[in-house]
Structures are given as C-alpha cells and as structure tokens.
Amino acid sequence: MIVHDLSAETPSMTIVSTKFLPQNLHATTAQLKLTSHSPHTNAAVSCRVCISSNGRNSSRNLTKVMVSAETKPTHLPNYDIKETHLIKVLSRSCKAGQFNESLYFLELMVNKGYKPDVILCTKLIKGFFNSRNIEKAIRVMQILEKYGEPDLFSYNALISGFCKANRIESANKVLDRMRSQGFSPDVVTYNIMIGSLCSRGKLGLALKVMDQLVKDNCRPTVITYTILIEATIVDGGIDEAMKLLDEMLSRGLKPDMYTYNAVIRGMCREGMLDRAFQFVRSLDSKGCPPNVILYNILLRALLNRGKWEEGEKLVTNMCSRGCEPNVVTYSILISTLCRDGKVEDAVNVLKIMKKKGLTPDAYSYDPLVSAFCKEGRLDLAIEFLDYMISDGCLPDIVNYNTILAALCKSGKADQALQIFENLGEVGCPPNVSSYNTMFSALWNCGDRVRALGMVSEMVGKGIKPDEITYNSLISCLCRDGMVDEAIGLLVDMETGGFQPTVISYNILLLGLCKTRRVVDAIQVLTEMVEKGCRPNETTYILLIEGIGFAGWRAEAMELANSVFSLRAISEDSFKRLNRTFPMLDVFKELTLSEIKN
C-alpha cells in the first residue's frame, strides 16, 4: 500500500506505503494543538482590597474595594459624591444600562460602609453578562458576597450567565458555592443548567443534572421536561422523547402546547407525518387544541415534501377551526413557492397576506429577494428592497447579503460596494458574511489591495473572521499561485482558534497540485490526517490527478486502485480517472471486477 517518495529530479516514483489511506485514519482531534492569541482570553479574577485607615469601622468594613479608574465615569468630578446620593445614582445608571458607571458607584458605596442592594447587584450581573463583560459580572458578585447578602436570584443570574457563555465548569462551581452558603438550588437554577447543556448537545450531562434535581427534592416542571424532550428528539429520536413524555405524565404534570409542538416537530423531522397527524387529532381530548404554531409545523413538513394538496387542506381545516394563519404561515407558503420556482405565485400570496391586514417581515420578503437574484432579475430585487422599506419593513443583513452576493456574482462589484458602504447608514452594519462576499469579489476583479483592506477593516471593527473567511483567502492566494502564503494562512487559521476542515485542506491541495508541488501536497495530506481531519473523495481525486499530471501516470492509477478498493472513491470517479490516466503495462490487464476483488 503506498506512501510516495516523490522527487522533482527523478522521472519515476517509488511507491512504498500509504499511511493516509482510510483504514489508518485513527488520528484524533486531540492531536491538534491550538494556540489562541485572542485578547478575550479569560484571566484570573481577584477583588482588590486595601486595609481601611479608619479603625472605627466594623470588622465587616475593615477592607475597602479598590475603586477602578476604568469604571469611573469621565464626566464626574474627582470629589466624593454625598452618601445620600449614591444609591440613587447607582439605581439610575443601572436602569439606563450604564453598567460601568453603576459598578463605580457600587464600589464607592461599599467603601462608605453601605450594604450593596441585592436587586441592583443582580441587575448589574445580568447587564455585564449580556454585554459579554464576564469579569465585571464576577466582580459584582464578589462585592455582593463580601459586603452584602446574595440571594437565590443573584446566584441564578450568575449561573445563567456562565451557562450562556459556555462556561459550564464555572457554573458548577457557583452551584457548589451556593450550597455551601446554605442556599438550595430551585427548579429555575436546574432549568438554567439543563437548558444550557441541552443547547450545546450535552444531553447526557443534562439528564444527570435532572437526577440531581430529583435527589435535592426539587420537583421538575413542564419547562424542565419540554427542554429535555426537545434535546432528546435531536439526540435520541422521537421514541426516546415519548418515554420522557410518559414520565412527565406519570409525575402528574400536564404538557402544554410548547411540549406538544416539540413532539410534533420531532415526528415531522423524522418523516412520521401520519403519526404526527394522528397525535394532533388526540390533542382536543387532552384539552390542548392545536394552535397556529402547531399548524405551521405541519404545513412546513407537508410543503417540504411537495404535498401541496394536503397543505391546502390543512390551511382550510385550520381556518374552519377558527385558527387564522399568521405571518409565519404566509412566509412558509412564500418560501416554498419561491423554492419551487413559482415566484409570481409567491408575490400573489404576499398581496393576499397584506389584504388580510398582516404586516410582512424580513422573513417574508427574503425568499422573494433571493428568488429574483437567482433568476438574475437584480433590478427587481433591489426594487423589492425599496418596497420593503416603504412598507415599513426594514431589510435585515440577510436581505442585503443576498443582494451583495448576486451583484458580485454577476460582475457588478462596484454597485455591490456602493450598497456595502451604505449599510451602516441604513442601520444594518455589515457582518462577516458581507465582508467575505466583498473580499472575494474584489480579489476576483484583480483589486487585491482593496480586498485585503476589507479583511483589515473587518478585524479592526471587532468582527472575527470565520472559516469561510480563511477558506476564501486561501483559495484566492492559491488561485494566484501564492501557495506559500496560503500555507502560512492555514497555520494562522489554527492559531486563530479554527481547526481547518477538509475543505480548507482540499483548497490547499488543489493549489499545490496545480503548481506541481506533489511532494508538498503529500506532506499536507499526511499532516491533515495526523490532526484528525479525515480526507474525503475530493481529497484523493485531487492528489491522484496531481500525481498523474506531474508525469507519474502509473503511480497515480496505483493510488487510485488502492483508494477504490477501500471504497474511498466511487466507481464513477475511478472510471473517469482511468480514462484520464490509462493503466500501463500490468494495470492494463486488470478489469474493474478484479480491482474490486
């Protein structure tokens, strides 16, 4: 089996083994060591204190919080604010969402011997987490624990913040600290933990938290089970979810429409439409008549399978039961019609929707804008954006990105750039997708300087590059023969916290093979496997073609034989390669059936 010892100086190639073939792909992602240089790396947090010079203070106030210069409002003078004003200004600044000012006043307040208000501190904790300033949220809790009296709500706010930030270990530590302070977690605490774990695909851990909830004599609620049912449908399938529903009923809990909607959505996702409709028919007897959300789930499932007649019957039945279609219902119809190429019918549905007194939203318009762009009717797509605005519906960044991509694809990068540069003025600042589109368009137009300027501008605005950004850059560099720069960018991608995917490696392999750097291509493939990235059919075809076009046709087909026998490439691909590089000598005698055997 083969590793290639290729040399640019020799016309032939020795084939010895192939460590990169499928059966040897045992590398794990743990072998990939990423070094993050992110400025947002979490640092250890400490509450800085100093000894009070006032010996008359109580033992509680022997230490003072060091007031941070960074949180001091710039518009305030340097003299102390009267004590009687502190609570008022703290409350006012917190209410206005000026959390840095609030923290400054909180620090002043405890230094003057005031006990921090737990409600205001809880608001501050939530505010800092919402603005992604985790360290200051921790600081507020440290002040509250040292100088005040935290309650269950403040601990729940801290746990919720950590969970949303994907810092589950930190949340668990708060849970332990909470217990050590004599607080018993309530069902809200557990629901926060369970919801966070489920949203991150950690159903097993979520079920363990559920077990702990029961051990703590805490009664699960309908919300608890609904969260678990939704996650179980994704992870274990509808049958496992139905077991949870039965358990829920055995506890005397009555499912609500959110629970039933989750179950119906799961059945539809698994293609069990008959079972879903049968389940819906039983809801009336359960005291939960179907609502518009449930009908929309069923309608989407039917139309996604092309069952328009059944979909129309469903809408008729829905209306006969007094359940009026909403904006989402019409948006589903518009989206499906556009997908099926029936754009004029979709426009008519939009008109009916407006006659019914419903206001279309961006999700209603987006399929139409996309359809016009797909058909090359860009003027009409842009007119539709103007119509949206005049109708009181502001386009979102998805709408604008659709237009940008269509303009760039049709070679109208200058017009796209004009729209791009005005996005901030219309209240819709560009996102990473907008920048990716413009970068590729400008590079393709030969304007490398402006293209790279887009990347610099994006990073300067705090917008992080994504996998598409890196792959686009690597592709553009390879296409222009700047393969060494592309290799360097692949390394930067890893240090930036992104694990290159098979797409990233395939782009680089194509660039190397086009420049006949086959030895380097094999080295990249070897490193790819070592880092736990499994090659796909495209990977092998690129390498086989690279070897063949470099002059080693027999060796290319030997590699093709090997990967085909391991079912790493399809029969059609193998036949195409065999036509491109006809087997020489002994290989000519091999038939397809012999190769399979």
* Model confidence pLDDT, tens digit, residues 560-596: 888 888 888 888 888 888 787 765 333 433 444 444 4
8 Å CB contact between 289 and 321: yes
Among 14-23, 174-183, 238-247, 517-526, name the one with the lowest average pLDDT. Answer: 14-23
pLDDT tens-digit profile of 210-223? 988 888 888 999 99
Token pair recorded at residue 150? 């935290």
DSSP 52: -
- Kindly state whether residue 583 falls inside one of the protein's structural domains: yes
- Kindly state whether residue 426 falls inside one of the protein's structural domains: no
Between CA 379 and CA 384, with CA 380 as vertex, the angle to 5 degrees is 120
Mean predicted confidence (pLDDT) in 303-323? 92
- Kindly state whether residue 214 falls inside one of the protein's structural domains: no
What pLDDT score does 333 carry? 95
Report how many domains make up the chain: 1
Query: Which of the pair, 370 or 94, is modelled with greater confidence?
Result: 370
Mean predicted confidence (pLDDT) in 137-157? 86
8 Å CB contact between 536 and 555: no
- Kindly state whether residue 239 falls inside one of the protein's structural domains: no
Round to whole Å and give the CA distance between 299 and 310.
9
Distances (CA, A) of 214 to 207, 211, 388: 11, 5, 52
Task: For residue 223, give every residue at least 6 positions away whose Cβ sits within 8 Å of its Cβ, in sequence order, or none.
Answer: 191
Q: pLDDT-derived band of residue 85, with 50, 70 and 90 as boundaries?
A: low
8 Å CB contact between 540 and 28: no
Gyration radius of the chain over CA positions:
31
For the cut 80, the answer to whether the pLDDT of residue 94 exceeds it is: no
Residue environment code for 153-191, b if the CB has 16+ CB neighbours within 10 A, otherwise e: bbbbbbbbbbbbbebbebbeebbeebeeeebebbbbbbb
Round to whole Å and give the CA distance between 113 and 80.
14
- Kindly state whether residue 165 falls inside one of the protein's structural domains: no
For the cut 60, the answer to whether the pLDDT of residue 61 exceeds it is: no
In the three-class reduction of DSSP (H, G, I as helix; E, B as strand; rest coil), residue 15 is classed as: strand
DSSP 463: P
Q: pLDDT-derived band of residue 29, with 50, 70 and 90 as boundaries?
A: very low
Among 22-26, 83-87, 101-105, 149-153, name the one with the lowest average pLDDT. Answer: 22-26
What pLDDT score does 58 carry? 39
Scanning the structure block, which residue is given the tokens 């291509």?
521
> Which domain range does residue 547 map to?
1-32+506-597
| Other Cβ atoms within 10 Å of 197 Cβ, number | 24
8 Å CB contact between 263 and 242: yes
For CA atoms 98, 100, 104, 107, the dihedral sign is positive
Kindly report the average pLDDT of the chain as a whole number: 79
Query: Which of the pair, 582 or 25, is modelled with greater confidence?
Result: 582
For the cut 90, the answer to whether the pLDDT of residue 23 exceeds it is: no
What pLDDT score does 308 carry? 92
- Kindly state whether residue 432 falls inside one of the protein's structural domains: no
For the cut 60, the answer to whether the pLDDT of residue 516 exceeds it is: yes
DSSP 567: T
What pLDDT score does 550 carry? 79
Round to whole Å and give the CA distance between 206 and 199.
10
pLDDT above 70 covers what percent of the chain?
Answer: 82
Round to whole Å and give the CA distance between 337 and 339.
5
Q: pLDDT-derived band of residue 84, with 50, 70 and 90 as boundaries?
A: low
- Kindly state whether residue 383 falls inside one of the protein's structural domains: no
Q: pLDDT-derived band of residue 40, with 50, 70 and 90 as boundaries?
A: very low
Among 72-81, 209-218, 220-229, name the one with the lowest average pLDDT. Answer: 72-81
DSSP 21: S
Distances (CA, A) of 400 to 87, 267, 384, 428: 46, 35, 11, 9
- Kindly state whether residue 246 falls inside one of the protein's structural domains: no
Q: Minimal CA–CA distance to 463: which of 507, 516, 424?
A: 424
What pLDDT score does 331 carry? 95
Amino acid at 141: M
pLDDT tens-digit profile of 241-291? 999 999 999 989 999 889 999 999 999 988 899 999 999 988 888 888 899
| Other Cβ atoms within 10 Å of 80 Cβ, number | 11
Mean predicted confidence (pLDDT) in 135-147? 86
Mean predicted confidence (pLDDT) in 167-193? 84
What pLDDT score does 583 carry? 53
Token pair recorded at residue 376? 């090359």
For CA atoms 362, 363, 364, 367, the dihedral sign is positive
Query: Which of the pair, 10 or 409, is modelled with greater confidence?
Result: 409
Round to whole Å and give the CA distance between 372 and 370.
6
- Please list the helix, strand and coil fractions of the chain in percent, rounded to the nearest 5, in that order: 65, 0, 30
Mean predicted confidence (pLDDT) in 360-369? 90
For the cut 90, the answer to whether the pLDDT of residue 175 exceeds it is: no
pLDDT tens-digit profile of 394-410? 888 998 999 999 999 88
What pLDDT score does 367 carry? 93
Round to whole Å and give the CA distance between 27 and 466.
24
| Residue 441, CB-side half-sphere exposure with 13 Å CA sphere | 23
Task: For residue 424, give every residue at least 6 positions away whose Cβ sits within 8 Å of its Cβ, in sequence order, or none.
Answer: 430
Among 89-103, 311-325, 431-445, 526-540, name the one with the lowest average pLDDT. Answer: 89-103
pTM: 0.65
Q: pLDDT-derived band of residue 8, with 50, 70 and 90 as boundaries?
A: very low
